[in-house]
Homo-oligomer: A and B are copies of this chain.
Amino acid sequence: MSIPDDFDLQNFLPYLLNQAAEESSLSFQKVYKDRYGMLRTEWRVLFHLGIYGRMTAKQIGERSKMHKTKISRAVAKLAERRFLTRQKDEADRRLEYLELTPAGLRAYRDLRDVARAYDSQIAARFSEDEVALLRRMLRQLAGGAR
């Protein structure tokens, strides 16, 4: 029984994107995990603060599309490790501004350099035009609707 079917799983875009994403994250994950004991959510928050500077959890959520509970937990961990400080907005006391400490900034810069090198290494597997097109398509796919 069980008539084999010719659906091409290896080319099904959601599956393929997942496989590529997982594979391409592996080496970088190893670094932020082994070197700083971080989770994916944590380096993402760290990077947002490192790149854009002082911002609130809400703003991180808008940029990263992470759910607020993930952010809340990542922020708690980073604060515990003294990688960031929290500071309530006096005008609107629901808001809390997050900012990297010098230690957090050092960790960010270290990982940023690793990320840059790793990205180049991946990009080097293709021509410049190809990589540019890949990034453009991925941005569009990531962008959601339409």
A residues contacting B by CB (< 8 A) are 1-7, 9-25, 28, 44, 47-54, 65, 99-100, 105, 108-109, 112, 115-116, 118-119, 122-123, 125-126, 130, 133-135, 137-144, 146
Contacts and interface: CB of A to CB of B under 8 A. Distances in A.
Contact of A139 (B1, B4, B10, B105): B10
B115 A7 contact: yes
28 contacts: A2-B49, A2-B105, A3-B53, A4-B52, A5-B108, A5-B112, A6-B51, A7-B50, A11-B119, A13-B122, A13-B138, A14-B28, A16-B135, A16-B142, A17-B17, A17-B20, A17-B25, A17-B138, A18-B25, A20-B139, A20-B142, A21-B21, A23-B141, A125-B140, A126-B137, A133-B133, A134-B134, A134-B137
Contacts of A134: 133-134, 137
A5 B50 CA distance: 6
